[in-house]
C-alpha cells in the first residue's frame, strides 16, 4: 500500500456512497447522517416526523467542496411493515443500491425505579409504573423494527458494489450490556435483545456480502435523553447531568458528536469488521460491569 493511501481523507471517505438513516432527524441518527454527508455520502434520513427531517436537512446538509447531502425521505414509521415497504419502493425509484443502513430509530421507554427495601415495596413500585403494553411498545420500536428495517433493505444493500463492503450499523446502547437496570428494565432488556440480534444478523447476512455491526453508546445528547431539541434538531447535555447517574463515568462528560462520527465512519469503511459491538461509553462499563 502506498503511504498516501493511509491518509484519513482516503481511509474514511464515503464519497458517492448511498446511505439511509432511520431516526435520522435528531440525536445519534442525525450525528451519523452528518458524519456520512460531510465525507461525501448521499444520506437519506427518515423518521415519523417529516418536519423534524426537513429541519435537520435544512440546518445540517454540508456546505463546501467534497460534501455530500442530507435528504429527507418519508415519513416512515419503522414499526409498520407496510410503511417500510413503501419506503423501499420510494428508494428503489431513486437509487440502484444502498451502501449503508444506520438503524437509529428508538424510544426511551418508561422509567420505573424499584424503590424501598422490601419485596412488597419493590413490587408495588414496579407494578404500578409498568405495563405489558409499554414493554411491548418498547420491544417493537427498539428491537423488531431493527430486524424488519434490515430485512426490508437487504436486497438493496446486497446490490452494492462488493468492493465497497455494504453494511448495517445498529444503534444499541451500553444499557443493554450492563447488569444495572438504571430504573428502566424494559429499555435495558430491549437493548440487550437488539445487541444480540445484531450478532445473529451479522452471521446470517454475511453470506450475501452484508456486514452488520452495532454501536453501544453511553451518554450522548439527544432528544431521547434530554426530552427536547432546539430549532436545529440538536440537544445539549451538561456535565453535571452525566455525573449524576449514580455510578462512575470515567470520561466525566457526555460523548461528543465528533466521537460518534468517528465510530460511524470506522464501521462503515472497515470491511474486515462484522458482528462487532463497539462500546462508546466513556468507560462506564468498566466501572459497572457487563452481563
Distance CA 66, CA 257 (A): 20
Contact 215, 171 (CB under 8 A): yes
CA gap 204, 219 in Å, rounded: 31
Residues noted as catalytic: 172, 187, 191
Cell numbers at 16, concatenated: 458517492
Residue corresponding to grid cell 452484508? 210
Contact residues for 165 (Cβ-Cβ < 8 A; gap 6+): 209, 211, 269, 271
Q: Quickly tell me which residue has 460523548 as its cell.
A: 255
Query: Is the backbone peptide bond immediately before 75 cis, with ω within 30 degrees of 0?
Result: yes
Phi, psi (rounded to 5 degrees) for 20: -130, 130
8 A C-beta contact, residue 99 and residue 17: yes
Three cell numbers written together for 209:
456480502
Query: Beta strand 167-171 with 69-72: parallel, antiparallel or unpaired?
Result: unpaired
> What is the CB neighbour count within 10 angstroms for residue 213?
23
Q: With helix as H, strand as E and coil as C, how does 195-208 read? A: HHHHHHHHHHHHHH
Total residue length of the chain: 291
Which residues, in sequence order, are CB contacts of 238 under 8 Å at separation 6+?
none
- Grid cell listed for 191: 437493548
Amino acid at each position: 500500500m502506498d503511504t498516501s493511501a493511509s491518509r484519513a481523507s482516503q481511509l474514511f471517505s464515503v464519497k458517492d456512497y448511498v446511505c439511509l438513516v432511520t431516526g435520522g432527524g435528531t440525536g445519534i441518527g442525525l450525528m451519523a447522517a452528518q458524519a456520512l454527508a460531510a465525507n461525501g455520502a448521499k444520506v437519506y434520513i427518515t423518521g415519523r416526523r417529516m418536519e423534524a427531517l426537513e429541519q435537520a436537512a435544512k440546518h445540517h446538509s454540508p456546505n463546501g467542496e467534497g460534501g455530500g447531502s442530507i435528504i429527507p425521505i418519508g415519513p416512515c414509521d419503522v414499526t409498520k411493515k407496510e410503511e417500510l415497504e413503501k419506503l423501499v419502493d420510494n428508494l428503489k425509484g431513486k437509487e440502484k443500491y444502498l451502501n449503508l443502513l444506520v438503524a437509529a430509530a428508538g424510544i426511551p421507554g418508561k422509567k420505573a425505579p424499584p424503590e424501598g427495601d422490601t419485596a412488597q415495596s419493590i413490587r408495588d413500585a414496579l407494578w404500578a409504573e409498568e405495563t405489558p403494553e409499554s414493554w411491548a411498545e418498547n420491544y417493537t420500536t427498539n428491537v423488531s423494527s431493527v430486524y424488519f428495517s434490515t430485512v426490508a433493505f437487504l436486497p438493496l444493500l446486497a446490490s452494492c458494489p462488493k468492493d465497497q463492503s455494504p453494511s448495517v450499523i445498529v444503534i444499541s446502547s451500553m444499557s443493554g450490556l450492563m447488569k444495572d437496570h438504571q430504573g428502566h428494565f424494559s429499555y435495558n432488556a430491549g437493548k440487550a435483545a437488539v445487541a444480540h440480534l445484531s450478532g445473529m444478523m451479522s452471521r446470517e447476512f454475511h453470506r450475501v456480502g452484508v456486514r452488520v455491526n452495532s454501536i453501544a453508546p453511553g451518554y450522548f445528547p439527544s432528544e431521547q435523553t434530554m426530552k427536547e431539541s432546539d430549532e436545529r434538531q440538536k440537544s445539549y447535555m451538561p456535565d453535571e447531568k452525566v455525573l449524576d447517574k449514580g455510578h462512575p463515568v470515567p470520561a466525566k462528560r457526555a460523548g461528543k458528536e465528533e466521537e460518534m462520527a468517528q465510530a460511524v465512519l470506522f464501521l462503515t469503511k472497515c470491511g474486515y469488521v462484522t458482528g462487532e459491538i463497539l462500546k462508546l461509553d466513556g468507560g462506564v462499563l468498566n466501572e459497572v460491569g457487563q452481563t
